[in-house]
Structure 1
């Protein structure tokens, strides 16, 4: 496969977020311009540690169980004008949740309704306009595993 390294590693540039257009059927388009990107799947833990009542002075072993899971995507890059960016900026401007997919190479596709919790445009006089954004899930996600 041309997009994969010989040792099974993946290009960082293939970690994508695809923005839905809101139509039915929904069409997802690559969010263009990303130079850096990060997908985070994390969970808090619920502390279930209980001291030994029969031996209060004995050792206490910390125990826990899974807590709240959070899913986010961050990215930054060149602010490239086009239909997908215009749709995305509308969602941000209106603080409106939207459907999106995150494609994680070697893992699969995470699809959910997302919201943007941070969006920034920046630039200076000698470079093109750049952006950074953080997407967080609004709904539970569906997951489709990558097929080898």
Structure 2
């Protein structure tokens, strides 16, 4: 399998229309997609031999899917849609494209958003998106 380019790790924001159109959220210079699950401890000591060493066992608990990134704030239509959701604290449809893996689509929310900038630099932003409902996964072909 060929090496994947980090810049192709994308989040696409839906426009909320009846026939929803998704557009890339531009400006990211660094982005991360996290797939994790909490651990549920299922360890039970050996009842027949309680003095034996106890083997810790676990099973997956709550799964977590987050997309985060930092970059240049680029004004425009998709950024305006996102900022409406950030200000309103609302859920929206989005697609996260993970090169070499696939697409995670469904309801998302912005859990953190921050503007930053230096006096002589461009305005930057950072954002963290969390899944707000079950996500549909489509594997890359």
* Length-normalised TM-score, structure 2: 0.98
Indicate which of 92, 104, 109 corresponds to 1:110. Answer: 104
**Which aligned segments of 4 or more residues in structure 1 are displaced greater than 3 angstroms?**
none
Other-structure match for 2:57: 63
Indicate which of 89, 93, 97 corresponds to 2:87. Answer: 93
Distance 2:118 2:60 in 1: 45
Other-structure match for 2:115: 121
Instruction: List alignment gaps of at least 5 residues for structure 1.
Output: 1-6
The two structures, once aligned, show a CA RMSD in angstroms of: 0.8
Distance 2:75 2:52 in 1: 64
Distance 1:48 1:143 in 2: 28
Query: Matched residue of 1:38: which SS?
Result: strand
Other-structure match for 1:19: 13
Other-structure match for 1:131: 125
Paired residues in the alignment total 141
* Length-normalised TM-score, structure 1: 0.93
> How big is the shift at 1:60?
0.7
Residues 32-90 of structure 1, C-alpha deviations (whole Å, 9 max, x = no match): 00000000010011110000111111111111111110000001100000000000000
Other-structure match for 1:37: 31
Distance 2:36 2:94 in 1: 19
Which stretch of structure 1 is more off in the superposition, 103-112 or 7-16?
7-16
Query: Matched residue of 2:2: which SS?
Result: coil
Distance 1:72 1:131 in 2: 17
Distance 1:35 1:78 in 2: 7
Other-structure match for 1:79: 73
